Amino acid sequence: MLTLATGNKAVAAAVKEARPLVIAAYPITPQTEIVEQIAEYVAAGELSSQYIPVESEHSAMAACIGASVTGGRTFTATSSHGLLYMHEMVHWAAGARLPIVMANVNRSVGPGWNVWAEHTDAFSQRDTGWLQVFVSTVQEAYDATLMAFKIAEHEGVLLPVMVNLDGFTLSHIMQSLETVEIGDFLPPMHLPHAIDVEQPCAYGPLTGPADYFKFRWDIERSMRDAPGVIAEVEREFGERFGRRYGPTEDYRCEDADILVIALGTLGKEAEVAVDLLRAEGVKAGSMRLRWFRPFPDLDLRGRDVVVIDRDYSFGFGGVLAHSIRSKTGVEPFSVIAGLGGQEVTYDDIADFVRMHTPGTEYWFGVNGHV
């Protein structure tokens, strides 16, 4: 069915279609609309999930962990300080190999108190063992949320997935949304290590170094298998529903001399910048990175690269720029832009390309010292 929805409502509609056993959540701007909409579905009897309005994000993730470990599908949504507050449980969910799906509506971290888009919240959970995908349209928010359940629950993965969408810029704007009937694309969840609540036993005992080490390696082994699973799920989704996705969305990249690499809505806006630059004779392309964990293999040899980071690792640099450099060996021009919802237009992005100076860092809107 074709309708018009916000990014938040698209996520909620996908969750409704995925029919989780348990949804536990705590509201936070700009995510609140997701859990409000899901609560309405449950209240209206359109969704039979157990909805647990918990007292904090830490409890939201703990409740999802408890439900997931019994073998039930679970979902939660959060943002910024809420995600940081649940950090301990975010690690636990991955370590316990639970295929929980969470929408994170990307928002800056205070102070100063700011509710607008930034990727610092997601990157602060970078090393927890969660898969992370970043979306750029209302439709993609819907599709990625549905696929997230299938990827997370795949026996070759069994890790949680975080679906990231830019606060306000995507969460609160309205675009066309084509919803689907998911059918057997998403079979019932099967957790091989689910506990049997009818047969109580001790669970989660102290784990010595040798076993703990194996568990850690096992997470990494699944992370290394995940790109193949993601590709298979995205291919099947494309065949069934006609919308195709990959580790990156490449726009006019084939013959490009210079690529803009960005996440989320900035990656989409970059396509318009590419059109402007092409009209000037600059052979530019846009490579919007979708999957951040596992980080995809990118072949950037022989290209100039401009990376836009909507984040910063203080005392180090832009997280995405350094990820690109360490994974590809290419020395990018690192642009720090859009922090705290700073307005970044396609004209600005075209300027970043014109300014391209490999190996340097540029803070957009900050004069002088770089």
Partner 1 sequence: MYEIRIHSRGGQGGVTAARLLALAASRDGKYATACPFYGAERRGAPVVSFVRIDEEPIRVYSQIRRPDLVVVLDASIMDVVDVLQGLKSDGLVLVNSTHAWNGNRHAGRHVDLTGIALSLDLVVAGSPIVNTPMLGAIAKMGIVSLDSVRDAIAETFADDRNVNAAEAAYRELVV
Residues forming contacts to partner 1 in the complex (CB under 8 A) are 2, 4, 30, 115-116, 137, 166, 168-170, 172-176, 265-266, 268-269, 271-272, 343-346
191 or 277: whose CB is closer to partner 1? 277
173 or 282: whose CB is closer to partner 1? 173
* Separation CA 309–CA 262 (nearest Å): 7
Closest residue by Cα to residue 141 from 269, 10, 12, 6: 10
- Cβ of 163: how many Cβ atoms within 10 Å? 28
Helix/strand/coil percentages in the chain, nearest 5: 40, 20, 40
Assess contact for 17 and 180: CB atoms under 8 A: yes
Instruction: Tell the smallest beta-carbon distance from residue 313 to partner 1 (Å).
Output: 25
Instruction: Tell the smallest beta-carbon distance from residue 48 to partner 1 (Å).
Output: 26
Instruction: Tell the smallest beta-carbon distance from residue 273 to partner 1 (Å).
Output: 10
* Separation CA 363–CA 279 (nearest Å): 26
Assess contact for 46 and 24: CB atoms under 8 A: no
* Separation CA 61–CA 88 (nearest Å): 9
Q: What are the structure tokens assigned to 7, written together?
A: 């990014």
Instruction: Tell the smallest beta-carbon distance from residue 116 to partner 1 (Å).
Output: 8
Instruction: Tell the smallest beta-carbon distance from residue 172 to partner 1 (Å).
Output: 6
58 or 172: whose CB is closer to partner 1? 172
178 or 225: whose CB is closer to partner 1? 178
User: What is the sign of the dihedral through the CA atoms of 200, 204, 210 and 215?
Assistant: positive
Sheet with 361-363: strands ordered across = 248-251, 284-289, 258-263, 304-309, 333-336, 361-363
DSSP string, 43-91: HTTS--PEEEE-SSHHHHHHHHHHHHTTT--EEEEE-HHHHHHTHHHHH
Instruction: Tell the smallest beta-carbon distance from residue 174 to partner 1 (Å).
Output: 4
CA distances (Å), origin 178, targets 6, 21, 32, 268, 278: 12, 24, 22, 19, 31
277 or 344: whose CB is closer to partner 1? 344
17 or 140: whose CB is closer to partner 1? 140
Instruction: Tell the smallest beta-carbon distance from residue 153 to partner 1 (Å).
Output: 31
Strand partners, 333: 306
Instruction: Tell the smallest beta-carbon distance from residue 224 to partner 1 (Å).
Output: 33
133 or 266: whose CB is closer to partner 1? 266
70 or 342: whose CB is closer to partner 1? 342
Helix (H, G, I), strand (E, B) or coil at 198: coil
Task: Identify the residue whose tokens are 């970078």.
Answer: 126
Instruction: Tell the smallest beta-carbon distance from residue 101 to partner 1 (Å).
Output: 25
111 or 200: whose CB is closer to partner 1? 111
